[in-house]
Structures are given as structure tokens and as C-alpha cells.
């Protein structure tokens, strides 16, 4: 059956079925979630909403497939292939997210301006430090890279910066514990430890650089965001 013939068949089956409102609901929910994913700013929320939209439309197609009682439905298999390919691409982005950020932020190796910082991180984990041009004090880990802003470098002294780097190094060392969606979110270094992972990273940073340096770094960053 051609695609045009299949769409005509789908329309006929849906008009004759009592379950059509449920299929329509899945489609409407999918469109709403897709629109919401385009408006959200936080990467974690955007990705979660986009995946939810994918699931909703897949359920709509699966329900249609069931109503038609067909052994073969080209549109269903085409969309299933799309879901598989897009999922693979999402995980590929996750694996290479740091490379994408380096280009997006025009980040440069931090070893060129502070060799000691790269040597310090080398003793903790296998990761490269990059700095990027931003007055906002931020630090986050992605993939096998640690990113720090110029604003953070100007705000903290060496001891405080060691605490921040140790915190991010812990995340890289324990990357397998971090949820996939959270790995795609840019986490700003601040005083809010809203998860067990952040608490454990803080404990590691305090052990390596000292709790006084960690607290001092958080207090300085907090004053910027208040």
C-alpha cells in the first residue's frame, strides 16, 4: 500500500473507531509538548519535554496501528525508525557534549593561562579545563571537560578555585552515577546542594581543598547571584 493509500485507510479506520478521541488526545499532547520544548530555556527540561512528545506521538501511531489491525503499516515503521535514530543521536550528543560546548562557548584550554590548574585536575581525574568569556561566575563539567568562566577566575583565589575544580572533577570521575538528562544541563556552581550527587561532590572538594575554601567559594558566588 502506498503512503497516500495508507493515510486514507488510517482516516477511514479512525472515523469508524470509538477510540479515535484517545488517539487525538495523544496527538494534541504531543504537539503541545513539542511546542513547550521549543520555548523552555533549561536544557534538561527541554530535552525531557521533547522525549515526552516523542513518546506521546509514538503511542498515537501504535494505537492507530492496533485499530487498523494490519500486519504491516509503513508510517508506523517509518516513525519507529525515526525514534530509534533520534535516540541514538541524543546519546551521541551526550557523549560529545563537551566538544559541542567548546565550539559554542569558544572556550580555550585553561592550561595556557594557569598551568597549575590543569596539573591539579590531572591528579584527580582525566579531564581538560577550559575557560570561556563570561562575566557570570560559573563552573560545570560536561563529558571529560571542565568549564570555568572568566568571571569565576577573577572572583576566586587559588584555594577557592581548587575547591571548585575538585567539585567538578568528582562529577567527571563519577559520571556513570549522573542521570543522562542532568549531564546535559549546565549546572552553575552555587551554595544550593539539591541532590545527593552535589553533596558527595562537595564532600570530595572539602577533602581535597579544605572546607573553608569550599565555603568561601560558595559565599563569593552567592553574593553575585543575590
Q: What is the pLDDT of residue 27?
A: 77
3-state secondary structure of 130: strand
Domain with CATH 3.30.2010.10 in the chain: 97-225
Q: What is the pLDDT of residue 92?
A: 66
162 Cβ contact list (under 8 Å, min separation 6):
120, 208, 209, 213
CA angle 86, 169, 90 (to 5 degrees): 0
Q: What is the pLDDT of residue 10?
A: 58
Q: What is the pLDDT of residue 198?
A: 83
Q: What is the pLDDT of residue 207?
A: 94
Q: In 90-110, which positions are buried (b, 16+ CB within 10 angstroms) versus exposed (e)?
A: beeebeebbeebbeebebeeb
Residues 23 and 16 sit within 8 Å (Cβ to Cβ): no
Q: What is the pLDDT of residue 178?
A: 57
Q: What is the pLDDT of residue 183?
A: 52
Q: Output the CATH code of domain 97-225.
A: 3.30.2010.10
- Residue 129 phi/psi, 5° resolution? -100, 135
Which residues in the chain come in under a pLDDT of 70?
Answer: 1-20, 41-44, 65-79, 87, 89-95, 176-194, 225-226
What Å distances lie between residue 34 and 66, 81, 182, CA to CA? Answer: 24, 19, 20
* Whole-prediction pTM: 0.60
What is the tens place of the pLDDT at every residue in 115-157? 999 999 999 998 999 999 999 898 988 888 999 999 999 999 9
3-state secondary structure of 147: strand
Burial class (CB in 10 A: 0-12, 13-18, 19+), 131: buried
The residue assigned the cell 587559588 is 158
Say how far residue 83 (Cα) sits from the centre of its chain. 18
C-alpha cell, 77: 515503521
Amino acid at each position: 500500500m502506498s503512503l497516500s493509500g495508507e493515510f486514507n485507510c488510517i482516516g477511514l479506520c479512525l472515523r469508524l473507531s470509538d477510540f479515535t478521541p484517545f488517539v487525538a488526545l495523544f496527538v494534541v499532547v504531543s504537539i503541545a509538548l513539542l511546542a513547550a520544548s521549543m520555548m523552555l530555556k533549561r536544557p534538561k527540561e527541554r530535552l525531557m519535554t521533547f522525549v515526552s512528545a516523542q513518546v506521546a506521538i509514538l503511542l498515537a501511531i501504535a494505537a492507530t496501528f492496533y485499530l487498523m489491525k494490519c500486519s504491516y503499516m509503513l508510517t508506523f515503521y517509518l516513525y519507529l525508525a525515526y525514534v530509534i535514530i533520534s535516540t541514538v543521536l541524543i546519546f551521541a550528543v551526550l557523549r560529545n557534549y563537551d566538544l559541542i560546548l567548546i565550539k559554542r562557548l569558544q572556550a580555550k584550554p585553561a592550561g595556557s593561562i594557569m598551568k597549575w590548574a590543569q596539573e591539579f585536575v590531572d591528579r584527580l581525574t582525566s579531564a581538560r579545563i577550559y575557560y570561556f568569556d563570561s562575566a557570570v561566575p560559573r563552573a560545570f563539567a560536561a563529558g571529560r571537560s571542565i568549564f570555568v568562566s572568566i568571571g569565576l577566575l577573577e572572583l576566586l583565589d587559588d584555594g577557592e578555585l581548587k575547591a571548585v575544580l575538585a567539585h567538578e572533577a568528582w562529577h567527571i570521575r563519577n559520571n556513570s552515577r549522573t542521570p543522562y538528562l542532568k549531564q546535559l544541563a549546565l549546572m552553575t556552581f552555587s551554595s544550593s546542594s539539591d541532590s545527593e550527587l552535589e553533596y558527595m561532590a562537595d564532600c570530595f572538594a572539602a577533602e581535597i581543598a579544605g572546607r573553608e575554601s569550599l565555603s568561601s567559594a560558595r559565599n563569593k558566588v552567592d553574593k553575585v547571584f543575590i
